[in-house]
């Protein structure tokens, strides 16, 4: 059965979807730490308490409320021998949302495995311990990591039939780097490139500027836009508590679980959002950074294009939409719609993806 689209979810679903944003980012983004590790530091009961606050407030609430690990996302049936896809995700993660937006727009059927962000048993098969992970079978099984690599590799495969998916993925080798904290991580330096020959490139990008523009804004979505979500969602104690209040009232929690999710989780996320505000040099009112960012995007799209891709979305459109929609149903999203010029573009994106899914 097809799950309801993210843009049309009930208020409770929207709330718990946003509640797990921070831990999802921490586990996902190579080379960038978006928050303290759940339960990290200290010992004994204090460590367990802090871990519960982060985990319930940041992902386990989603798992407990939903009570389901796997469902099928159906789409238009593809010819025999087509891609068989399984997406391992946190539904709340903006990087996972980007991948879903891409797959939905291209009408690709896929299964979703919702990962428990505390135990992560669902991805115990993988040495790569982050999400999203996409398992793809186009004749042989293959694991794809990193949201932008997933999107670039699958898009290349859809356009070009010269290489197998395995060969295409080999064009995106992980490179080991060291963070400022001295931690070794893997990054993908060419993850915004589509690996096409000259003829294919001309067909997709009639002029080079189109390609450069798409890559620039895909990177912008990863490097800047995602950093604005958590500080805005948990901007005030009231906003933080409102998100977790939805989780508790609409989910299936015991007394202790509900307490941690609603109160300790909200408090933890509120203070972490302040750390992120400082880390990314945001303004005192973080809404202003959000407003400036989305208006910058709208200006880049321009008045004479429906999308940055022209009459249809390109990969930059899908990336920005995927990141922004994780705020739906919360005050930050409503404020963004009222105080910026994003709404016409955003509604067009909703409509075109809905048509692709039909």
Residues 342-353: pLDDT tens digits? 999 999 999 999
Residue range 269-286: mean pLDDT, rounded = 81
Counting DSSP H helices and E strands in the chain, the numbers are 17, 7
Question: How does pLDDT run across 25-59, given as a tens digit for each residue?
Answer: 333 333 332 222 222 333 333 333 333 333 323 33
Q: 85-99, 218-232, 266-280: lowest mean pLDDT where?
A: 266-280
Question: How does pLDDT run across 134-153, given as a tens digit for each residue?
Answer: 999 988 889 999 999 999 99
Q: Is 86 helix (H, G, I), strand (E, B) or coil?
A: strand
pLDDT of residue 36: 28
Annotated active-site residue in 54, 93, 110, 346: 93
Q: How far is C-alpha 75 from the chain's CA centre?
A: 20
Q: Which residues of 249-271 are buried (b: 16+ CB within 10 A; e: fewer)?
A: eebebeeebbbbbbbbbbbbbbe
Active site includes 90? yes
Active site includes 95? yes
Where do the structural domains in the chain lie, given as residue ranges? 76-357
pLDDT of residue 265: 66
Higher pLDDT, 273 or 66: 273
Annotated active-site residue in 95, 102, 157, 346: 95
Give me the chain's average pLDDT, please. 76
pLDDT of residue 273: 76
Token pair recorded at residue 242: 């409102």
Residue range 273-286: mean pLDDT, rounded = 84
Global confidence as pTM: 0.75
Higher pLDDT, 71 or 159: 159
Half-sphere exposure at residue 315, Cβ-oriented, CA atoms within 13 angstroms: 29
Distance, in Å, from the CA atom of 61 to the CA atom of 58, rounded to the nearest integer, reads 7
pLDDT of residue 87: 97
Could you say which DSSP state residue 180 is in? T
pLDDT of residue 167: 94
pLDDT of residue 84: 93
Domain 76-357 sits in CATH at 1.20.1050.10
Annotated active-site residue in 34, 54, 88, 96: 96
Q: Give the start-end residues of each E strand in 64-137.
A: 70-73, 84-89, 110-114, 133-137
Token pair recorded at residue 277: 């505000």
Residue range 151-171: mean pLDDT, rounded = 93
Distance, in Å, from the CA atom of 76 to the CA atom of 109, rounded to the nearest integer, reads 7
Report CA torsion sign: 265, 280, 14, 331.
positive
Q: What share of the chain is helix, strand, coil (3-state, %, to 5)?
A: 55, 10, 35
What is the rounded end-to-end Cα distance, in angstroms, of the chain?
Answer: 13
Question: How does pLDDT run across 292-315, given as a tens digit for each residue?
Answer: 999 999 999 999 999 999 999 999
CB atoms within 10 A of CB 303: 6
Question: How does pLDDT run across 72-100, given as a tens digit for each residue?
Answer: 343 333 443 478 999 998 887 899 999 99
Q: How large is the C-alpha radius of gyration of the chain? A: 20
**Prior bond to 132 cis, omega within 30?**
yes
Annotated active-site residue in 90, 105, 110, 234: 90
pLDDT of residue 199: 93
CB atoms within 10 A of CB 86: 19
Is residue 358 exposed (0-12), middle (13-18) or buried (19+ Cβ within 10 Å)? exposed
Distances (CA, A) of 165 to 59, 89, 122, 296: 32, 21, 24, 35
Token pair recorded at residue 91: 């539904």
Question: How does pLDDT run across 1-20, given as a tens digit for each residue?
Answer: 334 333 333 333 333 333 33
Token pair recorded at residue 23: 């831990």
Active site includes 246? no
Could you say which DSSP state residue 310 is in? B
Residue range 129-134: mean pLDDT, rounded = 92
Strands of the sheet containing 110-114, edge to edge, are 70-73, 110-114, 84-89, 133-137, 141-145
Q: Which residues of 144-177 are buried (b: 16+ CB within 10 A; e: fewer)?
A: bbbbbbbbbbbbbbeebeeeebeebbebbebeee
């Amino acid at each position: 059965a097809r799950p309801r689209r993210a843009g049309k979810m009930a208020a409770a679903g929207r709330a718990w979807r946003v509640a797990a944003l921070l831990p999802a980012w921490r586990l996902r983004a190579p080379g960038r730490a978006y928050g303290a590790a759940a339960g990290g530091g200290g010992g004994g009961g204090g460590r367990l308490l802090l871990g519960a606050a982060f985990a319930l407030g940041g992902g386990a609430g989603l798992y407990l409320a939903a009570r389901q690990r796997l469902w099928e996302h159906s789409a238009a049936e593809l010819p025999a021998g087509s891609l068989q896809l399984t997406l391992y995700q946190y539904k709340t993660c903006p990087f996972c949302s980007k991948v879903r937006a891409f797959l939905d727009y291209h009408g690709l059927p896929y299964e979703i495995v919702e990962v428990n962000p505390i135990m992560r048993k669902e991805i115990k098969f993988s040495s790569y311990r982050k999400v999203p992970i996409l398992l793809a079978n186009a004749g042989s099984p293959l694991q794809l990591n990193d949201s932008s690599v997933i999107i670039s590799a699958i898009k290349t495969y859809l356009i070009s039939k010269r290489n197998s998916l395995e060969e295409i993925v080999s064009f995106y080798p992980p490179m080991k780097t060291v963070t400022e904290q001295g931690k070794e991580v893997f990054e993908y330096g060419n993850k915004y490139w589509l690996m096409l020959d000259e003829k294919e490139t001309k067909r997709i990008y009639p002029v080079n500027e189109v390609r450069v523009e798409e890559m620039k804004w895909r990177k912008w979505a990863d490097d800047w836009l995602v950093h604005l979500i958590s500080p805005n969602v948990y901007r005030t104690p009231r906003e933080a508590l409102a998100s977790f209040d939805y989780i508790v009232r609409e989910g299936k929690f015991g007394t202790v679980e509900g307490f941690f999710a609603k109160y300790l989780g909200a408090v933890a996320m509120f203070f972490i959002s302040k750390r992120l505000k400082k880390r990314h040099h945001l303004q005192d009112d973080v809404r202003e950074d959000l407003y400036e960012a989305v208006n910058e995007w709208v200006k880049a799209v321009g008045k004479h294009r429906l999308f940055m891709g022209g009459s249809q979305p390109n990969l930059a459109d899908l990336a920005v939409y995927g990141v922004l929609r994780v705020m739906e149903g919360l005050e930050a999203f409503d404020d963004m719609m009222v105080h910026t010029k994003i709404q016409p573009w955003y509604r067009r994106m909703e409509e075109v993806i809905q048509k692709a899914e039909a």
